[in-house]
């Protein structure tokens, strides 16, 4: 069973009313949801940039209303999500309910999403190895917080480079966490017929059977890591035989040429860190759910100052070789239920 645990001892400062924004305030802040302020549109609705009267920049997600939960549940969920605070999560500031309108108000994160950097021929140059390595560690910490360290257990279900926003200092912030729960059909259960996610990032057990868990987020994290270090999209067909990124990565690993996977512009980075990331990514995308590491283990592996990290990275090498499993390919993940 997956879900939030409501802490009965919460103080009342963060009650739903305190988080509620007036529709008119948001309308003015976004210049009546003008197309100039539109940042983009995702599966849950359009996102607008806005500025509050006190000068604070915000991002407003205007949810597609036909399937959003009723008012009490919606308020409850927003209240829970707003309590989640971590430097690697996009902060939810509040919400607005007005007739059919359901708006979510977030802190504005100025530097676009990670996909717009790593897959752009010019912008990718701003992300050297040290920056990418730090980004990977910070994303891992954000996910660990969602899975284990906050008061609620949250499974993101749609981790991907487009959902990682970057602040002025290129610190990553995970967006869209908990969103699936705001929609009426979601059952807060580990098995659901409604699959929310993005093909390529979703674990095989999720695409095939609708089964999600913290380990399905771990799978998506593994895909993210492999994309960040290779600069290749999960959907692209690469290598001599035109294989997908996961098959390509496994092939290089088995042939002992894992470092060839690394984006050529990153070659001056630390080989040790690169190997750690490759091993970590491959361990996460294993088809066998039980064999995937937890996010807590990932943090240990990726922490260069941790003795356990060094120990693990030496142990992980034979483990990953031993796996010798069938690599999940796109054909395996195409059967959406
Ligand atoms: N808090 C924010 N600050 C700045 N930009 C944001 C913020 N939230 C979203 N955006 C931008 O708005 C656009 C749309 O975001 P949204 O999360 O709705 O869509 P998506 O991630 O492309 O798709 P999906 O719904 O599948 O996750 C993205 O380009 C994103 O960069």
Ligand 1: centre distance to CA 144 (Å): 22
Nearest atom (ligand 1) to Cα of 112: 31
Measured CA to CA, the distance from residue 317 to residue 179 in angstroms comes to: 36
Cβ of 176 below 6 Å from ligand 1 = yes
Query: What distance in angstroms lies between residue 304's CA and the mean position of ligand 1's atoms?
Result: 32
Nearest Cα neighbor of 272 from 315, 304, 232 is: 304
Query: Of 319, 113, 333, which is closest to residue 245 (Cα–Cα)?
Result: 333
Instruction: Tell me the CA–centroid distance for residue 105 and ligand 1, in Å.
Output: 12
Contact call for residues 115 and 162 (beta carbons, < 8 A): yes
Adjacent-strand bridge partners of 190 = none
**Which residue is closest in CA terms to ligand 1's atom 18?**
42
Q: What is the pTM of this model?
A: 0.86
The residue whose CB lies within 8 Å of the most ligand 1 atoms, and thus the one to mutate among 29, 33, 41, 42, is: 42
pLDDT digits (tens), the chain, 337 positions: 233 333 434 444 556 678 999 999 999 999 999 999 999 988 788 999 999 999 999 999 998 866 667 788 888 888 888 989 999 999 999 999 998 889 999 999 999 899 999 999 999 999 999 999 999 999 999 999 999 987 788 999 999 999 999 999 999 999 988 877 776 555 444 555 456 778 899 999 998 988 889 999 999 999 999 999 999 999 877 767 778 899 999 999 999 999 999 999 997 899 999 999 999 999 999 999 999 999 999 998 887 665 545 545 554 544 444 444 444 443 333 322 2
* Residue recorded with tokens 């799978």: 219
Q: ipTM value, please give it.
A: 0.96
Q: Is 134 annotated as a binding residue?
A: no
Spatial distance between the Cα atoms of 113 and 163, rounded to a whole number of angstroms: 7
Total count of residues recorded for the chain: 337
C-alpha–C-alpha distance, residues 78 and 68, integer Å: 12
């Amino acid at each position: 069973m997956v879900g939030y645990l409501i802490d009965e001892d919460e103080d009342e400062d963060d009650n739903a009313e305190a988080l509620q924004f007036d529709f008119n305030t948001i309308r003015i802040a976004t210049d009546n949801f003008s197309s100039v302020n539109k940042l983009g549109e995702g599966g849950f609705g359009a996102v607008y940039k806005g500025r509050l009267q006190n000068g604070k920049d915000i991002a407003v997600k205007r949810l597609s209303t036909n399937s959003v939960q009723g008012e009490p549940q919606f308020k409850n969920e927003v209240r829970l999500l707003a309590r989640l605070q971590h430097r690697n999560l996009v902060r939810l500031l509040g919400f607005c309910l007005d007739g059919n309108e359901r708006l979510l108000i977030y802190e504005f994160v100025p530097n676009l999403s990670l996909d717009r950097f790593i897959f752009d021929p010019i912008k990718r140059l701003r992300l050297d190895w040290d920056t990418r390595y730090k980004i990977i560690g910070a994303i891992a910490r954000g996910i660990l917080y969602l899975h284990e360290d906050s008061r609620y257990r949250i499974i993101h279900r749609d981790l991907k480079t487009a959902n990682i926003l970057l602040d002025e200092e290129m610190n990553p912030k995970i967006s869209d966490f908990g969103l699936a729960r705001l929609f009426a059909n979601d059952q807060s259960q580990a098995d659901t017929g409604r699959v929310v996610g993005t093909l390529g990032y979703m674990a095989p057990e999720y695409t095939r059977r609708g089964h999600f868990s913290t380990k399905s987020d771990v799978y998506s994290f593994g895909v993210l890591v492999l994309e960040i270090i290779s600069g290749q999209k999960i959907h692209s067909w690469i290598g001599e035989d035109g294989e997908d990124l996961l098959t390509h990565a496994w092939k290089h690993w088995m042939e002992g040429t894992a470092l060839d996977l690394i984006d050529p512009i990153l070659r001056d980075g630390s080989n040790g860190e690169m190997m750690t990331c490759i091993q970590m990514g491959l361990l996460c995308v294993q088809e066998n759910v039980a064999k995937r590491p937890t996010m807590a283990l990932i943090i240990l592996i990726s922490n260069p100052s941790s003795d356990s990290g060094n120990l693990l990275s030496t142990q992980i090498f034979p483990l990953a070789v031993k796996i010798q499993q069938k690599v999940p390919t796109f054909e395996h993940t195409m059967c959406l239920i």
